[in-house]
Amino acid sequence: MSASAAPVAVQRIASGPTDTEVLLWTCQEMYVYQIPPLKNESGHRANDWDVNKWLWSGKLSVFSIGNVVQVRLTDPTSGALFAMCPVNEPGSKAIDPVVDSSRYFVLRIDDGKGRHAFIGMGFRDRDDSYNFNATLQDHWRAAARAPPSPSPRPPARPCPRASRGL
C-alpha cells in the first residue's frame, strides 16, 4: 500500500525522439479482473465483477511521455510487463471509472500491434485510487498549460540585393 508521488526520469521506451519519459506515480498493490461486456451506455459496474477473484495482482506505474500518459502493470518482483494502457487525450475511454465505486476502473490495454482488450482494475485502498485519479488530472492540467511545441521554421528566402549602380 505504499505509493510514491515523486517524479523521476527513467529509461525511455518507444517514445518520440525528444520526449522524456517521467514516472509520475506508482502503487505496489493493485488487482486486475476479467470483466463482462458493457451492458448499457451508463458504464461498467464493479458489482458485476467478482472482486474477490482477481486474475492478477501487481504494481501499477503511471508515466508521462510528452503529452501521452502510459499506465503500466508490472510484476513487482521480476518487473515483467503484464499490460500497458496508453492514454492520448483527457476524457479518453482508455481509463474509465466504474459508476458504482471509486476504487475500480476499466482500462483499455494495448499490445502495441493494434490489438486491444478491456480489463477491470482496482485498488484495495481508496487513497491509492484517489492518488491515481489526481495524478492523471495533474498531468492533463500541466499538458494544457504547456506551450505548444514549436513548428519547424521554413528555410529563409534570400532577400533581393539592392542595386548600387548609378
CATH of domain 3-37+46-143: 2.30.29.30
Secondary structure class of 15 (helix, strand, coil): coil
Taking only the tens place, the pLDDT of each residue in 8-47 is 333 334 445 568 999 999 999 999 999 999 888 889 999 9
Dist. CA 98–CA 35, nearest whole Å: 11
Residue 53 has pLDDT above 60, yes or no: yes
pLDDT of residue 150: 58
- The more confident residue out of 22 and 112 is 22
The half-sphere exposure of 69 on its side-chain side, counting CA atoms within 13 A, is 28
Domain ranges for the chain: 3-37+46-143
Of 122, 157, 140, the residue nearest 52 (C-alpha): 122
